[in-house]
Structure formats: structure tokens, C-alpha cells
Amino acid sequence: MPELPEVETMRRGIARIVGSRIGRMACPRSRLQSILIVPPVPEFRRRVVGKKIVGVGRAGKRVVVELDSADRIVFEPRMTGRVLLADPPDRLHLRVVFELEDGPAPRLIFWDVRGLGVVRLVTPDEFDRQLGAEKLGPDALEISLEALCERLGSSRRAIKAALLDQRALAGIGNLYASEILHRAKLHPLIPCNRLRLVDWTRLHRSIREVLEEAVRCQGSTLADGNYRDAQNRPGAYQERHLAYQRAGQPCLQCGRGRIVRIVQAQRSTFFCPRCQAPRQGRRPTSGARTTCSPATAPARPSCFPAWAGS
């Protein structure tokens, strides 16, 4: 937390600062350990003060503010960071403040309880090296079915673990992976290379549906209350969770099973063993290949072997 829906909500919440100019940068003194700010504050300040904001974007789970100098301010909220235009909940956890001029908002704030967030100022070349196509996969809201199967289809990893790989697919974290797989009725432990065409199609549709619905609901604010939007308001998608943190409760999708919790790669996974049960039909052989080329893919994507439609 936060994941793509929360960070996209932050991005949309601060989008109106485009056209503003940074008049001042401050890092309030605190008894807490400082967050990571790169480059050091004096150089950071020198490069941003006086610069105009020309765009607000997102790279996976990061908010990106573009300046007219071509530099970009990258906010990485990690566990508890918030990118705000509203007044912060307190000053103790106030990390960075950009005073703004010539725009609708007086300031842009980065606030972080646990201090794990990162604020970077990068050049275009640094951005490409750190967050370009070699480091970050296609955005989960934009990836096509063929790109999804090309990147994950040949993997022997469990599908839940594969969805969390930011190099393959950017933006999905632990919470939304559980919700997506539940809606797609896929067991979280099934290897990627055992999914059929119908499975990949259903998974791709579920990714879009869950993430788009979560963005419309302004993201998920869990019991810890850490996540808030740019106006410091909670999200509402937690009220629609069907799997995440519902262990022991009835499955609202099939009405027959109960949500269970397992641990995968030291993370909690929630699913229904009834509607997400592994299928009992055919399985691919261990040597099955699942590769495809989007540029030449036929109507039936070549990333699926011959048995996939059975």
C-alpha cells in the first residue's frame, strides 16, 4: 500500500497544479529520521525553485511531476506516504513542502508516517534508466491481453507472485492481486504456464475491472487509516473488497465457500477455495512453451499452446 488505484487517485488529485511555479522548497525539521531525498536537498532546491510544472503523471506506484526544465520530481509513497494539496494530518510527519505560485493550490506536500517513502529529482536520462521499459513493465491499466501473456505466459511462477513483479506488469500489489484473482476465479498458486486462453482472457478483464472500479472509488483505506487522497480524504473501495482481509468470512462471489488466508513469499494471500479451486481438467506438459510476438500474433495468440483452448 498504496498501489496503482491509490497512486492514480493521488495523481488525479494534484493534476490541477499544472501551470504553477515552485517558489520555495522546504524540509521541515523533525526529531524523526529523514526520508530519502535524492539528490541532497541543497541541489534539489536549486534545480526546482523557479521552475514551472508542466505535467503530472504516474509510473507504476509513483507520482511524477514534470518541470519545464525537463527534470521530474518522483514521489514514491511506499507504505504510508501521501502526496497532498490539503493540510497534512500533523506536522510531525511532514517531510517535504513545495510552495507554489501562479496556480490554484498554495503548496504540494509529501507526508509520511513511517518514513519509508522516497522523493527523487531525476533528469530524463535518469528517469529512463530507473523507471523506463527496462525497469518497469507496462501499466496494469493499459496492458493488452497479448502483452500480458507474452510477459507472464511462460513463467513457472505462481500467478499471484507473477502479478506482483513490477518489471513484468506495473502497479499491482498484494491487495489488488488477491481481488483480481478472486474475480477471475483463479487459484493464486497455479503456475502461469498452466493457464489456458480462457483463463488469461478472464484475468486480463479482471485486472481492468478491479483497478478501474478502485480508481472510481478513490482507492482503499484500510483499518490503519494511512491512505488518503490529495485532499486528505479516505478511499471507499475497501467497502467492496471480496477477498482481501476477509479470511473466515463467506465468499460473496459463489456463496458456498469461505475466504481463506495463506502466505506466499512472506505475504498474505486471500482466496475462496470453492470458486477459485484449481481445475481438474488437462494440464500442460512441463515443456510447454508460451511465447508470443505482439507484432505478428494471429487471431488466436501464439503465446498459448495448442491445448490451451480445450
Average pLDDT, the chain: 90
Q: Which amino acid is at 121?
A: L
Residue 301: is its pLDDT beyond 80? no
The answer to whether 203 touches 195, Cβ cutoff 8 Å, is yes
Q: What is the CA radius of gyration of the chain?
A: 21
pLDDT > 90? residue 259: yes
- Candidates 213, 200, 211; CA nearest to 145 is 200
Name the pLDDT band for 293 (thresholds 50, 70, 90).
Answer: very low
The answer on pLDDT for 73 being more than 70 is: yes
The answer to whether residue 284 scores a pLDDT higher than 60 is no
Q: Which of 267, 274, 279, 283 is catalytic?
A: 267
- Whether 8 sits among the annotated catalytic residues: the reply is no
pLDDT band at 265 (very low <50, low <70, confident <90, very high): confident
105-117 pLDDT, tens per residue? 999 999 999 999 9
Give the model confidence (pLDDT) of 15-34 as tens digits. 999 999 999 999 998 888 78
Angle between helices 197-216 and 4-14 (to 10 degrees): 40
Distance from C-alpha of 122 to C-alpha of 111, rounded to nearest angstrom: 20
**CA–CA gap between residue 291 and residue 302 (Å, rounded):** 7
Residue 295 clears pLDDT 90, i.e. is over it: no
Q: Which domains does the chain have, with CATH numbers?
A: 4-131 (3.20.190.10), 145-309 (1.10.8.50)
How confident is the model at residue 29, as a pLDDT? 84
The string of pLDDT tens digits covering residues 33-62 is 789 999 999 999 999 999 999 999 999 999
Would you call 51 a catalytic residue per the annotation?
no
- How large a percentage of the chain has pLDDT more than 70? 90
Residues 209-243: tens digit of each pLDDT: 999 999 999 999 999 888 999 999 999 999 999 99
How many angstroms from the chain centroid is the CA of residue 84? 18
How many angstroms separate the CA atoms of 177 and 159, rounded? 9
Task: Work out the pLDDT band at 280, boundaries 50, 70, 90.
Answer: low
Residue 2 falls in the annotated catalytic set: yes
pLDDT in tens, 87-105: 999 999 999 999 999 999 9
Q: What is the pLDDT of residue 281?
A: 45
- pLDDT of the residue at 279: 73
**Active-site annotation holder among 11, 47, 61, 185:** 61
Residue 30's pLDDT is 81
Q: Is 42 a catalytic residue?
A: no
166 neighbors 60 (Cβ within 8 angstroms): yes
Q: Report the DSSP beta bridge partners of residue 72.
A: 66, 122
